[in-house]
Amino acid sequence: MSKSARLSIVVTIAGVAIGLVIFTTMAFLRSSPPTVDFATGHQPGQPVNLTIQTVGSIGYGAHPTWVSYLTHAPDNQWVHTTLWDLPANTRINVTDYEYDGGSPLRNQQIGQVTGTIGNIETVNGQPVHVINSNAGNGVAHTFSIPTLGINVPLYAVNGNLNLCAVAPCTTSSPHNIIKFSFTTPGPGEYPWQCFVPCGLGYLYGNGGPMQSFGYMDGFLKVVA
């Protein structure tokens, strides 16, 4: 084969590879959930109130049976996303409406509340430092930001009840109200996720929603 022919093949393969990268990137951008902006217009020194919910099944879309988080946006709409813009060096007051059943944790260390203000959460108004997942309803999910040392176990509802199956759920369905606060660091992007393997049908429960933005995986984009 001549040198020019080999060069032509290399160029063609490189072109196909670049095309695949562009196609994959554009497909990701098209499928990526929206980002909810809590930073624009924020007044320095004021806290941000962030309301979310965790559900046992989203009930619609490409993966209706997947567990998921949802975010209450400033325009008063529930948005299927786990991507947020937050102001730096600001207190974030989180309220989670937890609608999912739970189970014992594989690692009881995850039952400890860490990195929040006071290393505490409240569950239906009661202060909690640690959840014993082997008692009661267990833990449904966690809200965890490993790079910031934040871990909040979300106490589950009784799985024998008639749980909400189509999000967004309303307070007429069985739920727990979990509250906690933390302070954002300086600008940067910080991944957060659930550490309870709840991807049913995947190896060790760690696939599917566990590794998908909009479901059990997300990002805090902290801006100045």
Residue 12 has pLDDT above 70, yes or no: no
For residue range 114-144, list pLDDT tens digits in order: 999 999 999 999 999 999 999 999 999 999 9
- Could you tell me the residue ranges of all domains in the chain? 1-31, 35-223
For residue range 77-98, list pLDDT tens digits in order: 999 999 999 999 999 999 999 9
Select the CATH number that applies to the domain covering 35-223 from these four: 3.20.20.140, 3.30.930.10, 1.10.3720.10, 2.60.40.420. Answer: 2.60.40.420
For residue range 23-47, list pLDDT tens digits in order: 333 333 345 899 999 999 999 999 9
Running DSSP on this structure, what letter comes out for residue 79?
E
Coil, helix or strand for 205? helix
Distance CA 133, CA 137 (A): 7
Q: Looking at residue 206, what is its pLDDT?
A: 82
Diameter over CA atoms, the chain: 77
Q: What are the tokens at 89?
A: 């060096």
* Reported pTM: 0.84
Q: Looking at residue 62, what is its pLDDT?
A: 93
Q: Looking at residue 1, what is its pLDDT?
A: 55
